[in-house]
Amino acid sequence: MKNPLTPEVLADPVALTRALVDIESVSRNERAIADCVEDVLRVEPHLTTYRHGNTVMARTSLGRDQRVVLAGHLDTVPINNNFPATVRGDLMYGCGTSDMKSGVAYALHLAVTLAEPRYDVTYFFYEAEEIESTYNGLFLVSEAHPEWLAADFALLLEPTYGIVEAGCQGTMRATVTTSGVRAHSARSWRGVNAIHATGEVLRRLEAYEARRVTVDGCEYREGMNAVRINGGVAGNVVPDRCTVEVNYRFAPDRTPEQAEAHVRELFADFEVAITDLAPGAMPGLEAAPAQEFLAAVGTAPIGKLGWTDVARFAALGTPALNFGPGDPNFAHHPDEHVEIGKIRDGAAVLRRWLSAA
C-alpha cells in the first residue's frame, strides 16, 4: 500500500496519530504499520535504523554525553467497532488512539523533525505489548540485541493523560487450591466440598488490608483480588478440588521474591502455585535526563498503578518514566479516544525537553 505517513502528516502529531490509528495493527498483525514506520525512518540521514521482527529501532549517533530512549508499542487490542479513527470536536476516537498510537506519534514526529536533540536518542516502535510477554518486542530485542536497549534514561509513551507516572507496580497471578473428597450429591455427607472450602480463601481476601506505599514521593496502592474461580465435576457430584485465581499488584519496594513470600504466607495452609510474576519498577527520578524532563513538564510525578514496560528498562538499570496524552481509563474501551489538545501539549513538552540547550 502507499505509505500514509507523508512528510505533511509527520510534521503534525495530531494528523500523525490519526494516520497511525488508521493502519490496523492488532497484536500479531503489526507488519503493515512496522513497514510504514521503517520506510519513514530509513530515509532520515541523522538516524540509523534496524528492525527485528516487527519492532523498528532508530537511533542518533551525535556523540552526546547521555542517551535517552523514547518507546511506544505499535499493536492494539482487537478492534471493537472503533476503526478507522473519527474526530468529534476536540476528541479523536478509534482503536489505539489512547493506547498508544498518540504516544507513538510523539516519538515518530520527533524522530523525523528533530535532527539535533540535546541527547542521543533511541526510538523504539515495538510489537506485541498487549499479549503474552513472550511475543513482546522489547523482550525479543533484549534476547537478540540487548545493546539496542542501552541508555541513561527511558520514557515509555503509555497513556497517562499528560501526567508523569513514575515506575510501576509489580504483578503476580497465583492459584490457591482447596481440596475435598468427591461424593454423590445425594449422599453429600460422605464427601467434603472443595468449593465450599474456598469460603475461607475469599474471607481472607475480603479482610485483606492492602498497603499504600510512598516511594520517592510517589504513592503506590497495592491490591489483592480473586479474579476467577474454577471448580466442579458434574451437577450431581460433590467436587474434590477448586482453585481461586488471585491477582496481586504490589508496590515496587517489594521484590518478586518478597511478593511471592507474602502471598504464600497469607494462604499458608492452602496449596499455592505462582502462574505469572513480573517485577515492578522504582520511580527512577534521580537521573539527570529525568530531572530535566520533569522540569519541562512542570508538574510533580505520581506512582504508576499498573505494570508497564518501564520494568524492562529498570531491570537493566535504566531509570524510566511513563508519559503520554491518552487517558488510561479509556484504554481498551469501545469508546477509546484521546483529546487533541493533550496530543499538542505533550508534543510541545517533549520538543522543549529534547531541544533545550
Domains and CATH numbers, the chain: 7-168+281-355 (3.40.630.10), 170-278 (3.30.70.360)
pLDDT digit string, tens, across residues 156-210: 999 999 999 999 999 999 999 999 999 999 999 999 999 999 999 999 999 999 9
Which residues have a catalytic role annotated?
A: 75, 129
243: cell is: 482453585
CA atoms within 13 A on the CB side of 113: 22
Rounded to whole angstroms, how far apart are CA atoms 149 and 255? Answer: 23
Q: Is residue 1 predicted with pLDDT exceeding 80?
A: no
Alpha helices for 229-297 (secondary structure H): 256-266, 288-297
User: Is-contact 127 296, C-beta < 8 A?
Assistant: no
Q: Given pLDDT bands bounded at 50, 70 and 90, which one contains residue 76?
A: very high
Closest among 10, 3, 32 to 104, alpha carbons compared:
10
pLDDT at 133: 87
Which pLDDT score, from 0 to 100, does residue 357 have? 61
How large a percentage of the chain has pLDDT more than 70?
Answer: 100
User: Using one digit for the tens of pLDDT, what is the confidence trace for 219-269?
Assistant: 999 999 999 999 999 999 999 999 999 999 999 999 999 999 999 999 999
**How much is the mean pLDDT over the chain?**
96
Per-position DSSP letters for 57-82, written without gaps between them: EEE--S--S-EEEEEEE--BSPP-S-
